[in-house]
Amino acid sequence: MTISVGDAMPDITLYTMTGSGPESVTTGDLFGGKKVALFGLPGAFTPTCSAKHVPGFVANHDALTAKGIDSIVCVSVNDAFVMGAWGEDQQVGDKVMMVSDGSAELALATGLELDLSNRGFGMRCCRFSMVVNDGKVESLNLESDGGYEVTSAEHMLANL
């Protein structure tokens, strides 16, 4: 079952890349006491994700924080090394936190998984965006056609 507005985020350990290697971070640490713009993508370095989705959140960082967002988090079913390299490639700086859900635990626990095994990619995360306020889902957007419109930063900003 897919997570819904009003639901609490599950307690999952994820990973980020630091100067000394991968570091664990819990969903409690990411979302507790904060209003977070979270968006998930099928994979790092993929065309739509790299050309449109991540750049949109980077470009709209200031506008989102002006509307009360404390942090922006990108999650994908890639390891922390890949997410770190992708963040560098996308020049996210401190605007977007790149988070690894390498074993798809968050994707599966929230019902936001996307099985792309038939294309050689395995279990992934579907394209989504949500606002998580102190650990609870405040809004949720899911793409149904493989696009990125309703999960874009621009859509989120217009609906805050």
For residue 106, the one-letter residue type is L
- Structural domain contains residue 4: no
- Structural domain contains residue 18: yes
Tally of domains in the chain = 1
pLDDT digits (tens, 9 = 90+) for 21-46: 999 999 999 999 999 999 999 889 98
DSSP annotation string for 71-108: EEEEEESS-HHHHHHHHHHTT-TTTSEEEE-TT-HHHH
pLDDT at residue 22, rounded to an integer:
97
- Structural domain contains residue 73: yes
Nearest by Cα to 38 from 80, 69, 78: 69
Q: Which tokens sit at 78?
A: 């890639």
CB neighbours of residue 26 within 10 Å: 12
- Structural domain contains residue 112: yes
How many percent of the chain have pLDDT more than 90? 80
Q: Which residues are paired to 38 by β-bridges?
A: 73, 130
- Structural domain contains residue 151: yes
Distance CA 97, CA 84 (A): 9
Residues noted as catalytic: 49
Q: Which tokens sit at 17?
A: 């890349």
pLDDT digits (tens, 9 = 90+) for 57-99: 999 999 999 999 999 999 999 999 999 999 999 999 999 999 9
Order the strands of the 13-18 sheet from edge to edge.
Answer: 21-26, 13-18, 97-100, 71-76, 35-41, 128-133, 136-142
- Structural domain contains residue 3: no
pLDDT digits (tens, 9 = 90+) for 110-127: 999 987 778 777 678 999
- Structural domain contains residue 80: yes
Domain containing residue 38: CATH number: 3.40.30.10
**Structural domain harbouring 147:** 13-158
- Structural domain contains residue 45: yes
